[in-house]
Amino acid sequence: MGGGQSHNQQGPQGPSSSHGPNNGSVLATKKQQHENANKCSPAKVKSCLRTFFAHLFSHIGLCILIVGYTIAGALMFEKLEKTYEMKLIGNRTANFKKLRLHYVSELWNITEQFNVLYEMNWTSAVEKELREFESRVVATANTAGYSDVKDDLHWTFSGALLYSVSIITTIGYGNTAPRTAWGKILTMFYAVIGVPLMLLWLSNIGTLMANTFKFAYSHACCISSNPSSSSRSVQTKRTPSSKTEPSSIQVKYSVSAMTCETQVVQAQQNMHQRALNRREQRAKLRSLDPSAKQVLMECAEYNVNMDQDERSRRILHQLHSDSGGNGGEMLNISGMDEESSDEVESVIDMRGVTRGGDQSDLRGLNGGRGGSVMEISVNSNGMEGTPSRIPLLHHKGGGVGGIESGPDLVEVDEYHCGGGGSGSDGSASPSLNKYHLPRTEQRVPVSLVLTFVVLYIMGGAAVFSVWEKWGFLDSAYFCFITLSTIGLGDYVPGVSFGSAGTKEGQAQLIVCCLYLVLGLAIIAMSFNLVQEEVAAKVGISIRQEQEEGKGIVVVGSGHPTLVSIVNPSDYANMTMISLKSPKSKAISLVGYTLN
Amino acid sequence: MSDLEYERRLWPRIKNAFRVLVAFTFSHVGVCGLVVGYMICGAFLFQMIEKQEPNTQLEDVRKIRNETANELLSIVLMFNTLEKEEFFKLANAAIKNYTEEIVNAINLGYEGEPLNNQTHSTSVPTENVSWSFSGAFLYSLTVITTIGYGNVAPRSPWGKIATILYGIIGMPLFLLYLSNIGDILARGFKWTFARCCQCRWNCVKPRRYLDNGQLDEEAVPDEEEQITVPISLCLALMVGYVWGGGLLFANWEKWTILDASYFCFISLSTIGFGDLVPGDAISSTPGREDEIQLSFILCSLYLLLGMALIAMCFQLMQEEVVATVRKIGSRLGCSRK
């Protein structure tokens, strides 16, 4: 159904260009509203500046903070642990020297013992000594903690840097580990502050990189929907109606929308700001897209058939009274008074919003929106309570070009409604319609993101295999273990035998740190890019499986997306969704489910 | 009901049942079982892959030892008359080489050969505890929780590939487990807390009066959702768990309390250095494999429970933070037009 796209074409300019005596009052109202908006100009400028600085500081500031924190940690740990390690090495060297001396003298004794050298006896005696020596070495290695008993220093500056990075990213290689008591205590505190800091930074960077990636992707691909998408948000800002031709009925309803707004504006002076917002929200509860409207109509019919629900009856009346006019395309519910919108809200209820939006402050609700669509704002507990691992990424509602057009699309997981009972003989619904959410930015395909990540891992593997003289598989294994933050520590660059103390070894360690941090940022970015897709796909696929059980309509703020609608008449329990506005924000969603 | 109608009703019922089953598996109890099952499978897998290694390592070390002995022999045979200093110098060098080779082998997981194995048979000296079932179980746990101690690590290429694949599937699964468990525990905890809160309110309630002498009815707390668990309580719970674990491990592993708490903290934060791992202290003395295995299992349980608790605390703290921020925001940012 191409309706999705056509809705957003630039229709005529809406009520402002329409006809009749109503025009003047409409214009006047609009002007008044714009003035009101302009009155806040200094405050607006201030808030703009504030957001600008917030963005600036959040990205750059966090980067600097992280780098500084890591370096500070490196210096701190180096100071704490170096002296102890040198002492330990000194002891160890001395111990081993003594051990060697002991065994060599044993060997000498053996050699002296045999006046005539019987090779067999001598060899077996020597072997026995060697085995003893070996078990002593093994025991020492186990208890001393360092499994390599070489004399290379672990706690150089770059070693300490890698150590700090491995703490705050929770990789935790373990090849370098604190031995002193103070080192351990400090490690714990360092981690407590550093790990959340790192997660914050990762989520920040992940969002930033994801946006960049999406931008680059959408422009690189020269997809034809691009021009419309970039101008779309501008359009929705300007036109209140998304119909191609104005009709008098439309004007009438738009006017009543404006009237409502006028009333609201007048009431503004008397009401508390918050209640005002809420009222404005409800006043803006308006036109449905045709498919959504059809759903609403079917549901209302069903409800009326079932139990003569008064509210449904009123809504049905409203809907039917619209259909006569302009083909039933537009319903301006704001024509109703407050109570009626409450009724609509109670008729269509939605619970269980889980993902896709954050708590928007309905910035888009200012006058320019014109209220041609249902606004959506979501009270979302979207972030699961998983500790530490997933960066807490959230949806920004910004559209292309940075226009803050308000909250983004919402998908509903499940919802229940009043009503129920046997199926009605509702008319056949439109067949399965699925079209993309034009509001969202160009979605990057999951495969591309995954390929990018895999390429990064392979690239790192190639570099490390050349540098460290590991095999390719071992290097790839190392990269994977590092980037997944498992961090076994069996392979660590720069501390391979013989190169730890050298300049080259130090450089390798630092490169490892950079690779690590960049890789984690890329993983954060890919999470950000992928989670929408995966959630949508999984959600949709599950729903498609149950296609005879559930029909879901998701109404986006700008364009409804019909995921599926099924014929409700087949099934035993049809329930309808009523729209509810919870205390904090309005949720306007139309949908129905069949149990 | 005609047959056709019956079929049309049966099929969605089946699908419904399937959907319910899937939903159950991926929520709550199901996901716990799934995670534990996945770890057990992983344990078997890794045990199978990695257990052959010690034999080859043993052979390698033996070869090195032979070479060293030969070298020493050639040193001795080199001189017609053997000077002590010469011998010492050369033998020292040979032994030093030998030490390095042993250390290399230790890095690769060699665990030494007990001295009572006098024969040169190829039997495995003691059972390799690291890759016993419980050791492999702990290893699987460290992979999917991304703790990654590293004291046991796969040596064979197949082991590494298996680790990668196991991790790719296991880590999201574990995250699912955490979010589910965190959710359940958080709800349960909040409910309990709310009950306690209400009890306190009910005790205090009779004393609240308005100015006009009437009983202040609105002093009763709002619905349960409004009650958020204070952050301090969550933090105290986490610290208490780490501390308790510290005491436990200090007792069991004969570590100091600091070392044991440090170990608990490092494990639960999934950093997982691996410098301190349960079973280390005991492993040098042979014959106590059962204790070592027990300590592995204990550690695994501690970690599973601990991470669930941390997930719960994070969720509770997050709600509290969100509520607080919202309150502050609504007080400050009303004029947000």
Model confidence band, residue A322 (pLDDT cutoffs 50, 70, 90):
low
- In chain B, % of residues over pLDDT 90: 19
Cβ atoms of A397 and A525 within 8 Å: the answer is no
pLDDT of residue A411 exceeding 50, the answer is no
Closest CA to A367 of A35, A1, A6, A12: A35
The DSSP line for A247-282 is -HHHHHHHHHHHHHHHHHHHHHTTS-HHHHHHHHHH
Question: Measured between CB atoms, does A386 come within 8 Å of chain B?
Answer: yes
Q: B-chain residues within 8 Å CB-CB of A473?
A: 157, 160-161
Interface with chain B: mutation pick from A34, A35, A107, A488, highest number of B CBs within 10 Å: A488
Closest residue, chain A, to B273 (C-alpha)? A174
Q: Out of B9, B269, B315, name the one closest to residue A191 (CB).
A: B269
Cβ atoms of B311 and A386 within 8 Å: the answer is yes
Closest residue, chain A, to B20 (C-alpha)? A546
How far apart are alpha carbons A577 and A296 in whole angstroms? 9
- The amino acid sitting at B204 is V
pLDDT of residue B270 exceeding 80, the answer is yes
Q: Name the pairing type of β-strands A560-564 and A411-412.
A: unpaired
Question: Measured between CB atoms, does B167 come within 8 Å of chain A?
Answer: yes
- Give the H/E segment covering residue A565: none
Are A172 and B266 in contact (CB < 8 Å)?
yes
Residue window 468-487, chain A: list those with CB within 8 Å of chain B.
473-474, 476-477, 480-481, 484-487
Alpha-carbon distance A310 to nearest alpha carbon in chain B (angstroms): 30
Q: Can you tell me whether residue A217 is helix, strand or coil?
A: helix
Residue window 190-209, chain B: list those with CB within 8 Å of chain A.
none
Closest residue, chain A, to B177 (C-alpha)? A386
Closest CA to B310 of B147, B134, B197, B152: B147
Are B147 and A486 in contact (CB < 8 Å)?
yes
**Model pLDDT for residues A157-199, shown as the tens digit of each residue:** 888 888 999 999 999 988 888 888 889 999 999 999 999 889 8
How far apart are alpha carbons A409 and A411 in whole angstroms? 7
Which single residue is written with the structure tokens 């030093």? B96
Q: B-chain residues within 8 Å CB-CB of A366?
A: 337
| Average pLDDT score, chain A | 61
Of chain A, the end-to-end C-alpha distance in Å amounts to 27
Taking residues A343-357, what's their average pLDDT? Answer: 40
Cβ atoms of A574 and A307 within 8 Å: the answer is no
Cβ atoms of A418 and B210 within 8 Å: the answer is no
Model confidence band, residue A222 (pLDDT cutoffs 50, 70, 90):
low
Q: A-chain residues within 8 Å CB-CB of B64?
A: none
Here the tokens at position B88 are 């010492």
Question: Measured between CB atoms, does A166 come within 8 Å of chain B?
Answer: yes
Model confidence band, residue B214 (pLDDT cutoffs 50, 70, 90):
low
Question: Measured between CB atoms, does B98 come within 8 Å of chain A?
Answer: yes
In order of start, what are the domains of chain A with their CATH numbers? 55-201 (1.10.287.70), 443-547 (1.10.287.70)
Cβ atoms of A509 and A158 within 8 Å: the answer is yes
DSSP code of residue A563: E
Closest residue, chain A, to B256 (C-alpha)? A181
Q: Can you tell me whether residue B214 is helix, strand or coil?
A: coil
Question: Measured between CB atoms, does B77 come within 8 Å of chain A?
Answer: yes
pLDDT of residue A453 exceeding 60, the answer is yes
The lowest-confidence range among A96-105, A128-137, B127-136, B241-250 is B127-136
Cβ atoms of A483 and A520 within 8 Å: the answer is yes
How far apart are alpha carbons A142 and A158 in whole angstroms? 25
Alpha-carbon distance B290 to nearest alpha carbon in chain A (angstroms): 19
Q: Out of B9, B146, B284, name the one closest to residue A485 (CB).
A: B146
Model confidence band, residue A459 (pLDDT cutoffs 50, 70, 90):
very high
Q: B-chain residues within 8 Å CB-CB of A583?
A: none
Q: Can you tell me whether residue A434 is helix, strand or coil?
A: coil
Alpha-carbon distance B281 to nearest alpha carbon in chain A (angstroms): 8
Q: A-chain residues within 8 Å CB-CB of B161?
A: 473, 477
Q: Can you tell me whether residue A12 is helix, strand or coil?
A: coil
Are A191 and B96 in contact (CB < 8 Å)?
no
Q: How far is CA A103 from CA A372, B82, B100, B336, in A?
A: 91, 17, 16, 82
Q: How far is CA A577 from CA A29, A297, A572, B193, in A?
A: 35, 12, 16, 33
Closest CA to A234 of A14, A561, A8: A8
Are A150 and B160 in contact (CB < 8 Å)?
no
- The total of other beta-carbon atoms located within 10 Å of residue A509's CB is 26
Interface with chain A: mutation pick from B14, B68, B74, B269, highest number of A CBs within 10 Å: B269
Are B284 and A473 in contact (CB < 8 Å)?
no
- Please give the pLDDT value at position A460: 92
Q: Can you tell me whether residue A355 is helix, strand or coil?
A: strand
- In chain A, % of residues over pLDDT 90: 10
Spell out the residues 6+ positions from residue A585 whose beta carbon is closer than 8 angstroms to its own. Answer: A281, A359, A360, A362, A377, A378, A379
Q: Out of B112, B315, B334, name the one closest to residue A274 (CB).
A: B334
Question: Measured between CB atoms, does A433 come within 8 Å of chain B?
Answer: no
Cβ atoms of A413 and A353 within 8 Å: the answer is yes
CA angle, corner B77, sides to B76 and B82, nearest 5?
A: 55
Which single residue is written with the structure tokens 């002492």? A87
Closest CA to B267 of B126, B149, B171, B115: B149
How far apart are alpha carbons A183 and A82 in whole angstroms? 11
Model confidence band, residue B185 (pLDDT cutoffs 50, 70, 90):
confident
Cβ atoms of A240 and A367 within 8 Å: the answer is no
How far apart are alpha carbons B313 and B304 in whole angstroms? 14
Closest CA to A190 of A155, A159, A163: A163
ipTM over 0.90: no
- Give the H/E segment covering residue A359: none
- Please give the pLDDT value at position B261: 93
Closest CA to A564 of A533, A586, A592: A592
- The amino acid sitting at B5 is E
Q: Can you tell me whether residue A299 is helix, strand or coil?
A: helix
Question: Measured between CB atoms, does B268 come within 8 Å of chain A?
Answer: no
Question: Measured between CB atoms, does B265 come within 8 Å of chain A?
Answer: yes
CA angle, corner B92, sides to B88 and B95, nearest 5?
A: 140
- The amino acid sitting at A439 is R
Alpha-carbon distance A465 to nearest alpha carbon in chain B (angstroms): 15
Q: How far is CA A247 from CA A370, A372, B226, B308, in A?
A: 17, 15, 48, 60
Are A177 and B111 in contact (CB < 8 Å)?
no
Cβ atoms of A290 and A54 within 8 Å: the answer is no
Alpha-carbon distance A123 to nearest alpha carbon in chain B (angstroms): 7
How far apart are alpha carbons A462 and A480 in whole angstroms? 13
The lowest-confidence range among A140-154, A485-499, B241-255 is A140-154
Alpha-carbon distance A384 to nearest alpha carbon in chain B (angstroms): 6
- In chain B, % of residues over pLDDT 70: 78
Name which residue leads in pLDDT, A130 or B124. A130
Question: Measured between CB atoms, does B106 come within 8 Å of chain A?
Answer: yes
Are B160 and A387 in contact (CB < 8 Å)?
no
Q: A-chain residues within 8 Å CB-CB of B143?
A: 486
Closest CA to A356 of A139, A540, A126, A105: A540
pLDDT of residue B146 exceeding 60, the answer is yes
- Please give the pLDDT value at position B116: 53
Which single residue is written with the structure tokens 């504030």? A50
Question: Measured between CB atoms, does A132 come within 8 Å of chain B?
Answer: yes
**Model pLDDT for residues A510-568, shown as the tens digit of each residue:** 888 889 999 999 999 988 887 777 776 666 554 444 444 444 433 333 333 333 333 44
Closest residue, chain B, to A485 (C-alpha)? B146
**Model pLDDT for residues A251-264, shown as the tens digit of each residue:** 333 333 344 444 44
Spell out the residues 6+ positions from residue A296 whose beta carbon is closer than 8 angstroms to its own. Answer: A288, A315, A319, A331, A348, A590
Q: What is the pTM of this model?
A: 0.61
Question: Measured between CB atoms, does B133 come within 8 Å of chain A?
Answer: no
- Give the H/E segment covering residue A302: helix A290-307
Q: A-chain residues within 8 Å CB-CB of B270?
A: 170, 172, 388-389, 485
pLDDT of residue B51 exceeding 80, the answer is no
pLDDT of residue A154 exceeding 50, the answer is yes
Q: A-chain residues within 8 Å CB-CB of B87?
A: 104, 107-108, 111
Q: Can you tell me whether residue A321 is helix, strand or coil?
A: helix
Closest CA to A226 of A403, A434, A442: A442
How far apart are alpha carbons A542 and B22 in whole angstroms? 10
Q: How far is CA A153 from CA A273, A491, A496, B97, B104, in A?
A: 65, 17, 12, 20, 17
pLDDT of residue B135 exceeding 80, the answer is yes
- Please give the pLDDT value at position B238: 92
Q: A-chain residues within 8 Å CB-CB of B111?
A: 138
Cβ atoms of A315 and A343 within 8 Å: the answer is yes
Question: Measured between CB atoms, does B67 come within 8 Å of chain A?
Answer: no
**Model pLDDT for residues A47-93, shown as the tens digit of each residue:** 887 887 777 667 788 888 889 999 999 999 988 888 888 888 788 77
DSSP H helical ranges for chain B: 3-25, 29-50, 53-78, 84-107, 133-144, 157-204, 231-253, 257-268, 280-283, 289-332
Task: Report how many Cβ contacts below 8 Å link chain A to chain B.
Answer: 240
DSSP H helical ranges for A336-412: 338-347
Q: Out of B16, B283, B310, name the one closest to residue A387 (CB).
A: B310
Are B160 and A111 in contact (CB < 8 Å)?
no
Closest residue, chain A, to B11 (C-alpha)? A548
Q: B-chain residues within 8 Å CB-CB of A139?
A: 112, 284
- Please give the pLDDT value at position A284: 41
Name which residue leads in pLDDT, B160 or A322. B160
How far apart are alpha carbons B120 and B110 in whole angstroms? 17
How far apart are alpha carbons A156 and A164 in whole angstroms? 12
Name which residue leads in pLDDT, B259 or A105. B259
| Average pLDDT score, chain B | 79
- Please give the pLDDT value at position A540: 53
A378 φ/ψ angles, rounded to the nearest 5 degrees: -125, 135
Here the tokens at position B179 are 């979010």
Question: Measured between CB atoms, does A224 come within 8 Å of chain B?
Answer: no
Closest CA to B145 of B163, B166, B169, B170: B170
Closest CA to B334 of A274, A270, A43: A274
Question: Measured between CB atoms, does B93 come within 8 Å of chain A?
Answer: no
Question: Measured between CB atoms, does B160 come within 8 Å of chain A?
Answer: yes
Here the tokens at position B150 are 């590293």
How far apart are alpha carbons B85 and B64 in whole angstroms? 25
